[in-house]
Amino acid sequence: MEKAVILAGTFDTKGEEYGYVRSLFEELGIPTILIDTGTNAPSITPTITAGQVAAAAGYDIETLRAEADRGKAVKAMMEGLKIIVPALYQGGVVAGMVGLGGSGGTSILTPAMRKLPFGVPKIMVSTMAGGNVAPYVGNSDMIMIPSIVDIAGLNKISRVVFRGAVQAMSGLLGCTSSLSEDQYPDKPRIAATMYGVTTPCVMEARRLLEERGYEVIIFHASGNGGRTMEQLIDAGAFCGVLDITTTEWCDELYGGIMAAGTDRSEAAARNHIPQVVSVGAMDMVTFGPPETVPDHYKDRNLYPHNPMVTIMRTNVEENIALGKKLAEKLNLAQDNTILLLPMKGVSAVDAQGKVFYGPEEDKALFETLKEHVDTSRIPVLELNCHINDKEFPWSAAMLLLEMIEK
């Protein structure tokens, strides 16, 4: 059998992106092996299914789906992929491996990449590549490429990054062919911020805005994502900002690994760009593996988001300080700014029955914002729903469009 490049990842949420990358390899005449590590129905047909990956590590895919435990699912897929990828290499069919992912996907894929021998090309396009990559790369010769934007659909920026990764793999394999020029329409662009726990909200807002003819560029709220978005706003890249996920302030104030710096949340105000801002994932501070959590936080409500990421629930005192800080930044705006609050929860794990459900903590955040935001210039709107309920992204998208198109 001819050697092929492994494309492994979550085909339920990132099938569009993997389909595009596969088509680029096909254009170059390089065969691919598609391995699905998602736990839901894939949007493209894999060579090796998620069920096979889970089974390799002794898990049942239907049980994982029913339990809906993200941490357990990530662990299962990581362990299964670490078995399957070396077996394929021993079978003589692996030329290299390419992965696309956020924090969860990167945690699943890179341990398997490290199982490939030195000299076998391995490229990880990741939202985590702008920070400390040592836990992912280890002692391997893996190449990590910053995704610049979140891996959440195809857009003008992500296509450039993906094409670069494919060309890099092609060069490492000694292929002399080159890709044809990319033809992609130029549309007015909107920036949006997203985290895994706000994905349903942001993806629904993206769908609504793209139906109206806009291109939505999504940034992973990973520190590097927020910094990059602020830089591009200053460069005039966007006509509007949907800053749904402001969790980077939690890390900035409380020592997490995804802080975006003290000038986060300033660029849209400085440039008078219309923005709808919310408090997505402000229920959590993000740390690395469990052993890296500072000692003074060890007795807090901690949850393993994936093997490389541990999140800590913010408490009432912290949420008061967070509210004051976000209000301070919002008050820099003279116009074109709306704050939208989801009264029934700010993330997927801050909902009734979930591990970070905290009505009192959320109330402290909301009340502080209402007290300190200058409402004479900046409307503060409350929605009696969860941030991932469809009512919320619909309202956010329509409010932003109203400001952009007035």
Give CB contacts under 8 A, 24+ apart, made by 233-237: 233/191, 233/267, 233/268, 233/271, 233/273, 234/267, 234/270, 234/271, 236/271, 237/189, 237/191
Tell me if 81 sits within 8 A of 8, measured CB to CB.
yes
Place of tokens 């290299």: 96
Question: What whole-number distance in Å separates Cα of residue 4 and Cα of residue 6?
Answer: 6
Query: Looking at residue 178, what DSSP letter applies?
Result: -
pLDDT of residue 1: 56
Joined tokens for residue 125: 């396009």
Tell me if 172 sits within 8 A of 164, measured CB to CB.
no
Domains (ranges, CATH) in the chain?
4-172 (3.40.50.12020), 189-405 (3.40.50.12030)
pLDDT of residue 132: 86
pLDDT of residue 322: 98
Place of tokens 């007035």: 406
Question: What whole-number distance in Å separates Cα of residue 39 and Cα of residue 21?
Answer: 21
pLDDT, block means (10 residues), the chain with 406 residues: 91 95 97 96 96 97 92 94 98 97 94 97 95 92 96 93 97 92 90 96 98 97 96 97 98 97 98 98 96 96 90 98 98 97 98 96 98 97 98 98 96
Determine whether 180 is exposed, middle or buried from the number of CB atoms within 10 Å of its CB (0-12, 13-18, 19+). Answer: exposed
pLDDT of residue 176: 86
pLDDT of residue 130: 82
Joined tokens for residue 99: 């992965």
How many other CB atoms are found less than 10 A from the CB of residue 117? Answer: 11
Amino acid residing at 179: L
Joined tokens for residue 210: 């793209």
Question: What whole-number distance in Å separates Cα of residue 406 and Cα of residue 400?
Answer: 10
pTM for the whole thing? 0.87
Amino acid residing at 183: Q
* 123 alpha-carbon distance from chain centroid: 18
Amino acid residing at 122: K
Residue 381 main-chain phi, psi, to 5 deg: -110, 135
